[in-house]
């Protein structure tokens, strides 16, 4: 059933003029990659961008996206240009590597997120969702910057599931604080993304960016070293960190060293915390913008969240509306707006010859809003996934977690975390639009608002649901 919705559409960044100088484009791109793009990309199957140093091709055509990500991923490795700005924090993590190094890392990491591990980590997610609800319930009647709150909640989920510690733990709190500084100081691209620099040439980063990255890695090293000692002593908790650190590469028998594990924990925190925080913030904003949908999700949560506080993984199959709302928020505001691959051999796309070393840009932001693929692409409509067009696009034009061999390891994790936290919050709280202009999406490390997402929080007066209102947190 189609709900009556406001005429107002979800906010979308302005597009630049179709033709600008290279210097102007670089300035726009460095500040925000979304508003630096022309409007024609929402209809184009492919677009070419030329610089003095390389050529870049943004690809929206579904069969070409499939070719790059699924059919021939080894021929299109991840571009090193994007990773240049992230290496001070991420080192040689699975997010930045290619080839055999990447394959080895995935062979060790993937088992931690397969099969029943989601069920095993569910109690920790549940406890974090309860904690987030209590935290925001204490702000009853206030207008809060919701991105800060979802960042706190997402960091709590990561620390509980990865290291079995809550965000209030001293080291976890320090990592979270340092990461907030890092997020705003780190531009999404640095000079090396535009100008090919030899490996021997030093890379220049802002002093505060480098300092925050070093502080985060030092704290993660402490956590990792302590966990390795607990594993040797035989008293380590059975969480994601323990699983990853004790998993050997089935081909070589090797496990991660401390330094390698620090690299991986850094990307788990970046990918698992930053992306979830972005997705949850935009979802709550959309709930405030469309209160009819908010009430439907709240009703579903009241009907299905247990009142005894038990963390039952089976209830996730009942939170269908919450899942579709979260899925639609990911469509409109994919946390990672663009991914870049590089050609290793000559290619021919849409009657154009593409030389080796060219950049292939895959843009969930444009693909998810493509005017020739989606019905009403700029509208918020969680019911679209039940339509023929929605189901087709879900298969061919939807990739908030990438796709193919390099699909995000934590995709299934995120699709449990998001709907679960959303259901807990809306079961107990109502979110209303704050005063002022609508937030404008911009790309920092992920898609965030230009000036924050400000929402008024109100406690619901209806019958309580779940354990958060009763003060019985589930054990993690």
Q: For 2-20, how does the pLDDT look when each residue is reduced to its tens digit (9 = 90+)?
A: 455 445 799 999 988 888 7
22-470 is classed CATH 3.40.640.10: no
Q: Does 200 have pLDDT greater than 60? A: no
Share of the chain above pLDDT 70, in %: 89
- In tens, the pLDDT along 220-231 reads 999 999 999 999
Ramachandran angles phi, psi of 435, nearest 5°: -75, 160
Q: Does 90 have pLDDT greater than 60? A: yes
Q: Which of 323, 213, 341, 340 is nearest to 279 (CA)?
A: 323
DSSP string, 332-389: HS-SS--EEEE-SS-EEETTEEE-TT-EEEE-HHHHTT-TTTSSSTTS--GGGGGSHH
Give the mean model confidence (pLDDT) for residues 279-302: 97
DSSP string, 66-88: HIIIIISGGGSPBPHHHHTTTHH
- CB within 8 Å of 238: residues ≥ 6 apart: 120
DSSP helix/strand/coil, 427: helix
pLDDT, residue 462, reads: 62
Q: Residue 127's pLDDT band (boundaries 50, 70, 90)? A: very high
Q: Residue 83's pLDDT band (boundaries 50, 70, 90)? A: low
Least confident of 86-95, 214-223, 413-422: 86-95
Q: Does 468 have pLDDT greater than 50? A: no
- In tens, the pLDDT along 128-170 reads 999 999 999 999 999 999 999 999 999 999 999 999 999 999 9
Q: Residue 463's pLDDT band (boundaries 50, 70, 90)? A: low
Rounded-to-integer distance, Cα 317 and Cα 326, Å: 14
- 229, two tokens: 């000692």
pLDDT, residue 190, reads: 47
pLDDT, residue 82, reads: 66
pLDDT, residue 186, reads: 56
Give the mean model confidence (pLDDT) for residues 301-313: 86
Q: Does 331 have pLDDT greater than 70? A: yes
- In tens, the pLDDT along 439-453 reads 999 987 789 998 889
Q: Does 428 have pLDDT greater than 50? A: yes
- In tens, the pLDDT along 231-243 reads 999 999 999 999 9
3-state SS of 110-123? HHHHCCCHHHHHHH
- 2, two tokens: 């189609």
pLDDT, residue 86, reads: 76
* Average pLDDT score over the chain: 88
Ranges of each domain in the chain: 22-470
Q: Which of 165, 181, 161, 188 is nearest to 82 (CA)?
A: 188
- In tens, the pLDDT along 337-348 reads 999 999 999 999
Question: Do the Cβ atoms of 147 and 277 come closer than 8 Å?
Answer: yes
Q: Does 474 have pLDDT greater than 50? A: no
Q: Does 95 have pLDDT greater than 60? A: yes
Question: Do the Cβ atoms of 441 and 11 come closer than 8 Å?
Answer: yes
Q: Which of 227, 230, 253, 254 is nearest to 162 (CA)?
A: 227
Q: Residue 412's pLDDT band (boundaries 50, 70, 90)? A: very high
pLDDT, residue 84, reads: 64
Q: Does 187 have pLDDT greater than 60? A: no
- In tens, the pLDDT along 245-275 reads 999 999 999 999 999 999 999 988 888 888 9
Order of strands, sheet of 143-145, starting from the edge strand that comes earlier in the sequence? 143-145, 454-459, 429-433
- In tens, the pLDDT along 20-67 reads 777 777 777 777 888 888 999 999 999 998 877 778 999 999 999 999
- In tens, the pLDDT along 414-424 reads 999 999 999 99
- In tens, the pLDDT along 353-374 reads 999 999 999 999 999 999 999 9
């Amino acid at each position: 059933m189609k709900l009556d919705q406001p005429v107002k559409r979800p906010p979308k960044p302005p597009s630049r003029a179709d033709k600008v100088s290279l210097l102007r484009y670089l300035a726009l791109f460095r500040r925000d990659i979304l508003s630096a793009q022309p409007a024609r990309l929402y209809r184009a199957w492919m677009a070419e961008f030329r610089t003095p140093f390389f050529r870049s091709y943004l690809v929206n055509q579904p069969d070409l996206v499939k070719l790059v990500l699924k059919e021939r991923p080894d021929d299109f490795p991840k571009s090193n240009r994007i990773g240049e700005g992230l290496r001070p924090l991420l080192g040689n993590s699975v997010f930045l590597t290619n080839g055999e190094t990447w394959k080895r890392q995935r062979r060790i990491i993937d088992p931690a997120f397969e099969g029943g591990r989601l069920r095993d980590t569910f109690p920790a997610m549940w406890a974090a969702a309860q904690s987030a609800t209590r935290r925001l319930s204490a702000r009853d009647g206030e207008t809060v910057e919701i991105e800060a709150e979802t960042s706190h909640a997402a960091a709590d989920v990561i620390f509980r599931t990865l290291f079995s510690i809550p965000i209030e733990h001293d080291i976890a709190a320090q990592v979270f604080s340092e990461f907030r500084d890092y997020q705003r100081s780190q531009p999404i691209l640095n000079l090396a993304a535009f100008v090919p620099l030899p490996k021997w040439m030093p890379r220049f980063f802002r002093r505060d960016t480098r300092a925050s990255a070093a502080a985060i890695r030092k704290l993660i090293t402490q956590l990792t070293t302590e966990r390795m000692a607990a594993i040797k002593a035989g008293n380590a908790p059975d969480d994601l960190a323990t699983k990853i650190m004790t998993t050997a590469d089935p081909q070589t028998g090797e496990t991660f060293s401390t330094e390698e594990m620090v690299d991986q924990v850094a990307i788990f925190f970046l990918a698992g915390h930053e992306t979830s925080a972005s997705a949850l913030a935009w979802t709550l904003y959309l709930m405030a913008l469309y209160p009819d949908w908010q009430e439907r999700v709240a009703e579903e949560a009241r009907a299905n969240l247990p009142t005894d506080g038990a963390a039952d993984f089976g209830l996730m199959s009942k939170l269908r509306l919450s899942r579709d709302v979260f899925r639609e928020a990911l469509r409109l505001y994919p946390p990672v707006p663009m991914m870049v691959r590089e050609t290793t051999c000559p290619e021919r796309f849409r009657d154009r010859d593409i030389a080796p070393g060219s950049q292939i840009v895959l843009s969930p932001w444009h693909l998810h809003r493509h005017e020739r693929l989606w019905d009403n692409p700029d509208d918020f409509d969680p019911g679209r996934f039940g339509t023929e067009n929605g189901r087709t696009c879900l298969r061919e034009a939807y990739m908030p977690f990438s796709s193919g061999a390099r699909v995000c390891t934590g995709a299934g994790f995120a699709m449990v975390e998001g709907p679960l936290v959303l259901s807990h919050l809306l079961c107990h709280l109502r979110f209303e639009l704050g005063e002022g202009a609508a937030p404008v999406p911009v790309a920092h490390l992920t898609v965030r608002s230009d000036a924050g997402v400000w929402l008024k929080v109100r406690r619901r007066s209806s019958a309580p649901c779940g354990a958060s209102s009763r003060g019985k947190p589930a054990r993690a």
